[in-house]
Chain A
């Protein structure tokens, strides 16, 4: 980062009002959310029959979407916690991006699981009558915990920025000023406050890593504790976590590019950031590819009768186009792009990030649904449409609406709060100048 004055940094990083593009973007997301809300209204009034889920494929794109949201939320622990604890300072401008992705994703993971319920008004029973033996209860507990830790990890580093934001009342506006005052007027930047805050952030960074690992391991156990072809694997926890870090890192690269170009943050999110994140993404893609080889090659080598239909369905059958699309876009092409220095420039890295995110979404679908369509006992005496699954328009609308909702949370967060930590950037700039 070039030498900048504190004044310049603050002016650059203050939240900005939506321009024309921003307004169109928000309107577009709101329309998608409204369509999703209408589809959910139809599902509530008509019942789950409006979906394509039937006796066999009882988990469809809602649960795929849930797994995707949980996966992408792990990025908060990767960028904020792992890199902070290993004293990696270049990641400072990316921490808040990663944390808001984590918070919005984990919020919508919770919501989409309620959407999948036939009687959502009975959701509270999970808390009142939940069985500790059930991995679903473990997931409910760990998601709630992760949500609170992520909120705290987002909030604590914001405290010094509130003090700065309150100084720019005329720029930020009256209503936002009230919000900043409510959230952080008590921050006076005293040494005692800084000490407590730093300690709290360090404790959070340590705590969030095992909780993040738990959240996705437990999500993988929702499947792996069930004896079914494709899910009966001891590899699942590590396989899910490596995939989660990959999609999370991909999501951060996409967000970095969009915030950099839209808010003109080239001085703060530099080419070097893309280069380093690109390298991390290659490492994670290779790691995930390794787990995929383990997950599919070993069962395919044995080709047990009960697994054969499922594996052949993925490799050459009904699900082959989606399977190979997911493997190619989520891993192979991003690796090929990002292995080269030119590929780690902002635009190619952004394209690789988008491929990772899109491919990973389809990968989650492949983890959830094909297994359900290949039960141990053959399907017979059921209508033809029970044997296949293709989401209804309501399912697509709700799933896309939830993705739009998560993006809307990130968009509004960036409108209200500095998407790059102002105080930390100033401090690091001063340290850089001194050095």
Chain B
């Protein structure tokens, strides 16, 4: 009996130790989470911050979905500065628009800091990252001879000043991405903060009125973040949608087949069936001849 009690105690001890060691191992296998925070200003209208979460799994960086991220304005992650919360999608991305409630904090200075904090989970520890930007705006203009100018201005105290030496892309918006307006990939702003690009895509189709959308972009700039500006211009070829609905096509409904098909098909059918009817008539003739012979 005593022996059995001793054994039972031993089993409980082993089980407890196993649980503890499993828990410790689970904690030890937590991966490092890498967060990248970026600032976006689209068309000087919508501004947002976006985080990209990734982690090294099986020796490769992979996007991590389902990470609960909180975004703060300024370098202080107190609840008063909370911009919003978001969960990363299958691409590991989460973003929040900068709300009007953050206006006072935004207007305090020409520079701005943002913080993103990924909440601790079973797989990852709490992770924090920040981005500092200088407030800037991009402007776009065109001339009658199809020359596009984009100008970058940055806020200096309370004055907007041109910025020199920043890479700008000038392109046309298309369905699957942006198409450069000519062979040059990027332009660098001059002393007036301006880049000039000549439009050389004359055959590009636009909408029904030939409208195209030009876009100037600054991507992943360490100081200014991501800026875009757009302008609609009537430089495209007019796209006329010729509907074939209810017309005579191979894919139309019954009774709307192409004339050439109907002519071919019905003439063949008619020819063959006329032969068959002729032969049936011949059969009737044979029958009559038989009766006459009787």
Encode contact with B along A109-138: 1 for CB under 8 Å, 0 otherwise.
000000000000000000001111100001
Q: Verify A188–B293 contact, CB threshold 8 A.
A: yes
**A193 within 8 Å of B (CB atoms):** yes
Cα separation A132 to B254 with both chains bound (whole Å): 7
Q: Which of A130, A159, A186 has the most CB of B within 10 A?
A: A186
The proximity string for B residues 245-276 relative to A, scoring 1 for CB distances below 8 Å and 0 otherwise, is 00000111110011001100100010011011
> In the assembled complex, how far is the CB of residue A178 from the closest CB belonging to chain B, in whole angstroms?
17
Check B261–A207 contact: CB distance below 8 A. no
Among the listed stretches B16-24, B49-57, B278-286, which one makes contact with chain A, having 4 or more residues with CB under 8 Å of it? Answer: B278-286
The segment out of A197-205, A239-247, A299-307 that lies at the interface is A197-205
Is B287 part of the binding interface, using a Cβ–Cβ cutoff of 8 Å?
yes
Residues of chain B within 8 A (CB-CB) of A197 are: 286
B287 touches A186 (CB 8 A): yes
Inter-chain CA distance A188–B272, complex, in Å, is: 29
The complex places the Cα of A152 from the Cα of B284 at a distance, in Å, of: 13
Choose one: A148, A149, A185, A188; the contact of B289 (CB below 8 Å).
Answer: A188
A187 close to B (CB within 8 Å) = yes
B290 to A186, Cβ gap below 8 A?
yes
Partner of A152, one of B253, B262, B276, B294: B276
Q: A159 near B272 (CB under 8 angstroms)? A: no
Task: Decide yes or no whether B291 CB sits under 8 A from chain A.
Answer: yes
Which of chain A's residues has its CB closest to B250's CB? Answer: A133
Q: Taking the complex as formed, is A190 at the interface, i.e. its CB lies under 8 A from any CB of chain B?
A: yes
A190-B289 in contact (CB<8A): yes
With both beta carbons as reference points, the residue of chain B lying nearest to A191 in the complex is identified as B289
Q: Flag whether A30 is at the interface (Cβ < 8 A).
A: no
Q: Residue on B with the closest CB to A130? A: B254
Tell me whether chain B's interface is mostly helix, strand or loop, or mixed.
helix
Are A133 and B252 within 8 A (Cβ)?
Answer: yes
Q: B254 to A131, Cβ gap below 8 A? A: yes
Give chain A residues whose Cβ lies under 8 Å from the Cβ of B258: 133
Give the chain B neighbours of A185 by CB distance below 8 A: 290
- Are B261 and A133 closer than 8 Å at their CB atoms? yes
Q: Give the CA-CA distance A188 to B257 in the complex, in Å.
A: 49
The total number of A-B Cβ pairs within 8 Å is 69
- Measured between beta carbons, the chain B residues less than 8 angstroms from A132 are 254, 257, 261-262, 265
Contacts of B286 in A (CB 8 A): 159, 186-187, 193, 196-197
Scan B147-184; emit 1 where CB is below 8 A from any A CB, else 0.
00000000000000000000000000000000000000
Nearest CB of A to B285, in Å: 6
| Contacting residues, chain A, for B253 (C-beta < 8 A) | 131
B252 to chain A, nearest CB (A): 7
Interface residue from B250, B275, B276, B293 paired with A190 (Cβ < 8 Å): B293
A187 touching B265, Cβ below 8 Å: no
**Complex CA–CA separation, A197 to B289 (angstroms):** 12
A141 to B271, CA, bound (A): 13
Interface: A192 (CB within 8 A): yes
A-facing residues in B35-74 (Cβ within 8 Å): none
Interface centre among A133, A152, A200 (most CB of B within 10 A): A133
Interface pair B272/A207, CB less than 8 Å apart: yes
Residue of A nearest to B269 (CB): A141
B283 CB contacts on chain A under 8 angstroms: 152, 156, 200
Q: Which of B251, B276, B282 contacts A149 (CB 8 A)?
A: B276
Other-chain contact of B282, A186, A187, A200 (Cβ < 8 Å): A200
Q: Which residue of B lies closest to A210 (CB)?
A: B272
Complex Cα distance, B269 from A207, in Å, reads 12
How far does the alpha carbon of A152 sit from the alpha carbon of B278 in the complex, in Å? Answer: 12
Residue A280 is within 8 A (CB to CB) of chain B in the complex: no
Given A133, A193, A203, which contacts B251 in the complex, CB threshold below 8 Å? A133
Contact mask for chain A residues 164-186; partner B; CB cutoff 8 A; 1 contact, 0 none: 00000000000000000000011
Could you tell me the distance in whole angstroms from the C-beta of B71 to the nearest C-beta in chain A?
34
Given that A131-B257, A133-B261, A186-B290 are contacting pairs, would A152 and B250 also be in contact in the complex, using a CB cutoff of 8 Å? no
Interface assignment of A234: CB less than 8 Å from any CB of chain B: no
In the complex the two chains form, is B293's CB within 8 Å of A204's CB? no
**Whole-angstrom distance between the alpha carbons of A131 and B258 in the complex?**
11
Q: Using Cβ atoms and an 8 Å threshold, which residues of chain B touch A327?
A: none
- The answer to whether B279 touches A203, judged by C-beta atoms less than 8 angstroms apart, is yes
Given A199-B282, A200-B283, check contact A192 B257 (CB 8 Å): no
Q: Taking the nearest CB of chain A, how far is it from the CB of B54, in angstroms?
A: 25
Q: Specify the chain B residue showing the minimal Cβ separation from A145.
A: B272
Would you call A145 and B254 a contact (CB within 8 A)?
no
Separation of A215 and B291 alpha carbons in the complex (Å) = 37
List the 3 closest pairs (A to B, CB-CB), nearest first: A186-B290, A188-B293, A132-B257
Taking A131-B253, A204-B279 as given, write out 9 further A-B residue pairs in contact, using a Cβ cutoff of 8 Å, ordered by the A residue number. Answer: A131-B257, A132-B257, A133-B252, A145-B276, A152-B280, A186-B290, A188-B293, A190-B289, A207-B275
A-B contact pairs, 10 of them (CB 8 A): A133-B257, A133-B261, A138-B265, A186-B289, A190-B289, A193-B290, A196-B282, A196-B286, A200-B279, A204-B279
